[in-house]
Structure 1
């Protein structure tokens, strides 16, 4: 693997960092894209992440216990690890050693459709972990890796390798790589309109008037192409 995120993706990630998940969520709604990862929240409200997805899918063990995975040393800085553990709350797939290694390697963060453990280490290192919760029981001999860099599900959203993830205090959104520029452009328009409304209100304008001038009530309305 290379040492840095590709130039095109890097430009999109830089633009994404200037947005909040609410801006991107509204843009996804406007464009008819399902990208809001339900129920996956940060361990700490101060956490933020933005970067391209490296995906790992887990399944229950069978007669062959398999492995929970040795992948972390090979990832590019800035990558966001997306772990699909089918929303399981009874077995972890991320803990202390992975957090320490990821933080040292400049990994952008971790998103888990499931639970993590050793949460104090993530807080200590300021490493962004987003999950459905925390619980201490290991996934070893309970789940195994079924695939790397395959389509996965996170909070009901399909995430493919290279899709862009943005996380903040309100949760995580996933942006399809093929539509990243479009989503980011619309999200920027929404952010700028909200900033104008806020400025107008702070100058004494009624909120209803400020919203009407900025076209607020159509900002999230899904666009429809002409037949």
Structure 2
């Protein structure tokens, strides 16, 4: 997945989200905070946390270099489920980063390790419970409203993370790059004195909408090659 990370470094999760929308696919994003600087891109290595670190150690047994551990802790706010030792062990196993649907701890130590980690936030308390381990705890992870597996790829940056099907990565990144190129041209024109309203023919859109109230701005943008909303 080295090439994937190298290609993603030139994009953002926002570009990929817009690419999913344009491709008619679900936009599987969640808002998570990066604990360390740096982006992450790799195959999903799912793990459903039930209160013990051994589920992560078991996941690392089958990890491939560049995988990203995606931890499902049900968005719990009463415990941290990963810390510095998990981050260190992940790094030693060749895992490229951690995405945690829950909380982390040991923030300073994790930042010193340097492995990309994304979570809902931090708290000092670790797990205080031990629930039964489901048979499929390493087959999938539910993050927000999305359930992901090793057939998915996760991309993360300062805006959060997005999950995309591994078999459609090239198509979506091609679209994302096209959207990015259009937006850069639009930004350059704004800086040089041509407003975004001028670029997208906004006055013409308003006039056309008066004639056809059902006309949406997205329809108009497709006609003029804009890339503001998708």
Shorter chain as denominator, the TM-score bin is: 0.7 to 0.9
The normalised TM-score by structure 2 is 0.77
User: Which residues of structure 2 form unaligned runs of 5+?
Assistant: 202-220
- Partner SS state of residue 158, structure 1: strand
Q: Distance in 2 between matches of 1:180 and 1:189?
A: 14
Measure how far apart 1:201 and its partner are: 2.0
Q: Distance in 1 between matches of 2:196 and 2:157?
A: 26
1:94 and 2:82 equivalent? yes
Q: Which residue of 1 aligns with 2:11?
A: 19
Aligned to 2:125: 137
> Which protein is richer in helix relative to its size?
2
1:191 shift after superposition: 0.6
2:71 counterpart of 1:83: yes
Aligned residue for 1:86, secondary structure, equals coil
* Offset of residue 106 of structure 1: 4.0
Determine which of 156, 159, 182 is the counterpart of 2:148.
159
Return the match for 1:171 from 160, 181, 184: 160
CA distance, structure 2, for counterparts of residue 73 and residue 168 of structure 1: 27
Residue 175 (structure 1) shift: 0.8
* Higher RCO structure, 1 or 2 (CA under 8 Å, sep 6+): 1
2:23 corresponds to which of 23, 26, 31:
31
Change (3 A) 1:90 1:143: farther
The structure with more strand, counted as a fraction of residues = 1
Give unmatched runs, 5+ long, in structure 1: 221-227
For residues 79 and 55 of structure 2, what CA distance do their matches in structure 1 show?
A: 11
| TM-score, normalised via structure 1 length | 0.78
Instruction: Check conservation: 1:84, 1:153, Cα contact below 8 A.
Output: yes
- After TM superposition, list the pairs within 5 Å mapping 1:1-227 onto structure 2: 5=1, 11-44=3-36, 46-59=37-50, 67-71=54-58, 72=60, 74-139=62-127, 141-143=129-131, 145-146=133-134, 147-212=136-201, 215-216=225-226, 220=230
CA radius of gyration, larger in = 2
Give the length in aligned residue pairs. Answer: 207
RMSD: 2.7
Any conservation in 1 of the 2:100–2:119 contact (CA below 8 Å)? yes
For 2:144 and 2:123, locate their aligned partners in 1 and report how far apart those are by CA, in whole Å: 18
Cα displacement string for residues 47-97 of structure 1 (whole angstroms, at most 9, x for unaligned residues):
31111111112347xxxx894442335523321110111111223321111
